[in-house]
Amino acid sequence: MSECKVVDARNTFCPGPLMELIRHMKKASVGDMFELLSTDDGSSNDVPEWVHKAKHEMVSSEKVAGVWHIRVRKAR
């Protein structure tokens, strides 16, 4: 199991958390795990929607002290 890479996209609006996550995942290997940190509530919907469509794997999603911690694994 490879380590979890944190993508810190807190307090960013452009290009935004999902774009940051996709950017990192494009360069990753299958099996790599990412934890996206986002203060944008929209991420809790946007990220799972993209993960589902792109056929990756949602690992977990929780909001802690105003920050979304969304874990995703690259599946293909």
Partner 1 sequence: MRILIVGGGTGGTILGNQLARRLAREIRAGEVRLTLLSASDRHMYQPGLLYVAFGQMTPDELYRDEASLLEPTIDFQVDPVTEFHLDRNQVTTQSGKTHDYDILVIATGSRIVPQEVAGLSEGAEMFYTEEDAIRMHRRLLEFRGGTVAMVVSIPHKCPVAPVEAAFLLHDFFKARGIRDKVKLRYHYPVNQVHATPNVARWAKPEFDKAGIEYETLFNLKEVDPANKIIYSEEGTDVKYDLLIAIPPHSGAETVDENNLGQGGWIPTDRFKLTMNGHDNVYVIGDATDIPVSKTGSAAHFEAEVVVENIASMIKTGTPVREYDGRVYCFIEAGYDRATYNAFDYVNLPELKPPSKAIHWFKVAYNQMYWTTVRGLL
List residues near partner 1 by CB under 8 A. 8-9, 11-20, 22-23, 26-27, 40, 42, 46, 49-50, 53-55
Between 27 and 60, name the residue whose CB sits nearer to partner 1. Answer: 27
DSSP string, 10-44: TT--SS-HHHHHHHHHHTSPTT-EEEEEE--TTHH
**Rounded to the nearest whole angstrom, what is the least distance from the CB of residue 1 to partner 1 in the complex?**
20
In angstroms, the CA 66 to CA 62 distance is 10
Residue 22 near residue 15 (C-beta atoms within 8 A): no
- 1, 13, 14, 53: the active-site residue: 14
Between 23 and 62, name the residue whose CB sits nearer to partner 1. Answer: 23
